[in-house]
Structure 1
């Protein structure tokens, strides 16, 4: 049987840490936006950009 009320020491630590350091959570959101939350790629525009490149 699984105890659904169990909370690991790590989870307790992280919850307390993030509560005491809210700037860390803000930084996580900003980092995600920078690296992952991007606009969808327009395939037509991408193809035009690739075609217009000058070969070196």
Structure 2
């Protein structure tokens, strides 16, 4: 491979790299926003109750059993 060879970057990758260079705090802001909705502490008792209350699914859910 010649020394002047430049690896290909898609337009989307170029856009993201340019956006990150213009606003260096972008990733930390994204993590802070994510933590508001997704990264919450889990209640172990509630999770255990959800697991025990789960109803087993049949092998083929669209099969209607005749009564």
Which band: TM-score by shorter chain? 0.5 to 0.7
Structure 1: runs of 5 or more not aligned: 48-56
Question: Aligned-pair RMSD on alpha carbons?
Answer: 2.0
Deviation of the 1:7 alpha carbon: 2.0
Residue-pair matches, total: 41
State the Cα deviation string for residues 2-55 of structure 1 (Å, max 9, x = none). xxx5421111111111122012222101001111111122325xx7xxxxxxxx
Q: Say which of 4, 8, 11 aligns to 2:10.
A: 8
Residues 1:26 and 2:28 are matched in the alignment: yes
Structure 2, unpaired ranges of 5+ = 1-6, 50-67
Moved over 3 A (4+): none
Query: Highest relative contact order (Cα 8 Å, sep 6+), 1 or 2?
Result: 1
Q: Which has the larger radius of gyration?
A: 2
